[in-house]
Amino acid sequence: MLRCLDLAQLGLGSTAPNPSVGCVIVHNNKIIGEGYTSPYGGAHAEVNAINSVEDASLLPASTLYVSLEPCAHYGKTPPCANLIVNKKIKRVVVACLDPFAKVNGAGIKMLMQAGIDVTVGVLEEEALEQNRRFITFHQEKRPYIILKWAETADGFVDGIRTSSTDPSLKITGDTANILVHKWRSEEAGIMVGKNTAMLDNPTLTTRKYKGKNPIRILLDEKSETPQTANIFNSEAETIVISENTHNLRSVLAELHARNIQSVLVEGGPTLHRSFYEAGLWDEIRRFVAPLNIGKGISALACTQTPQSETTIGADRLLTYRNR
């Protein structure tokens, strides 16, 4: 199952809105096949693992390990549970159940009704953690929310600026900036508010990392951001939300309806504070740089205890979980 989780990690960022799943097939204590979820629209992990087995005659005497319950419904692809039954695999070990309404135990039931020996719950916590975006999306009916910002050692995210022609404060180093672009490639959407879009004129793409661009989400109640802004260029899709922008639950409900599974919130402290105070966040990724500026725009005061702290170049990265 640890190998399943390693394989599933390879698909993160390309499978949404599907989960990223890993699958391993074992015969006589030897791995004879393995696979992970293809990019959205492609084959699931179980299909790729079964197709990788050179001698299909071994399947009926094999055990299939998978990090998420096999699907039991027709979507972009046929049900994986049907395939496992048809291949007469004798035993299946599952890390965790799939909370998607069309599965949610139906895959396990289908396997057991076919006489397959099924075990559920092996490395369950690790599997739930790996697919926390998918789990949150289906259980909470909203995207998984990550708040991200960088601040100086004395707690500021920027100096005082009155115009977009005033240069923004460069806080973090190159290593941290590349990591942020990697993070962008792993999420379905990236969000900013009107003030950030107009003052910083960000592109919000993965220019510094090879990966897909997230969907850009702009909260702009009066549609004041000019169409010449970088956020409207052709490099990525942009969604503008202009209604109920102060009602974050309404905003997240709209994103859920659009099948956007996760959002990296890169706006300023006002937007971060709105999510934080409403309790509508799942992770915080906070860079603290060895820089003091004396005065400026204050960062959100995060009162939680960090889950972890890492050094990225000269910067500290503190991560938090809303649990």
Q: What is the mean pLDDT of residues 290-314?
A: 95
pLDDT single digits (tens) 228-238: 999 999 999 99
Angle between helices 248-257 and 269-278 (to 10 degrees): 90
Q: Residue 14 — very low, low, confident or very high, per pLDDT cuts 50/70/90?
A: confident
Which among 272, 274, 241, 269 is positioned nearest to 255, based on CA atoms? 241
Please say if the pLDDT value at position 218 is more than 90.
yes
- pLDDT of res. 168: 87
User: Are 77 and 43 within 8 A, CB to CB?
Assistant: yes
Please say if the pLDDT value at position 78 is more than 90.
no
Please say if the pLDDT value at position 21 is more than 90.
yes
Alpha-carbon torsion (86, 89, 91, 94), positive or negative: negative
Residue 75: strand, helix, or coil: coil
User: Are 110 and 85 within 8 A, CB to CB?
Assistant: yes
Residue 123 phi, psi dihedral angles, 5° rounding: 55, 45
275 Cβ contact partners less than 8 Å away, ≥ 6 residues apart: 145, 147, 248, 265, 281
Can you say how many angstroms the Cα of residue 40 is from the centroid of all Cα atoms in its chain?
A: 14
Q: Residue 75 — very low, low, confident or very high, per pLDDT cuts 50/70/90?
A: low
Q: Residue 308 — very low, low, confident or very high, per pLDDT cuts 50/70/90?
A: very high
Between CA 248 and CA 265 the distance in angstroms is 12
- pLDDT of res. 76: 67
Q: What is the mean pLDDT of residues 95-114?
A: 89
Q: What is the mean pLDDT of residues 29-38?
A: 97
Q: Residue 210 — very low, low, confident or very high, per pLDDT cuts 50/70/90?
A: confident
User: Are 69 and 102 within 8 A, CB to CB?
Assistant: no
Higher pLDDT, 163 or 153: 153
Cis-peptide into 214, omega within 30 deg = no
- pLDDT of res. 323: 79
Question: What average pLDDT does the chain have?
Answer: 94
Catalytic residue positions, numbered: 46
pLDDT single digits (tens) 252-278: 999 999 999 999 999 899 999 999 999
pTM of the complete model beyond 0.85: yes
What percentage of the chain has pLDDT greater than the value 70?
98
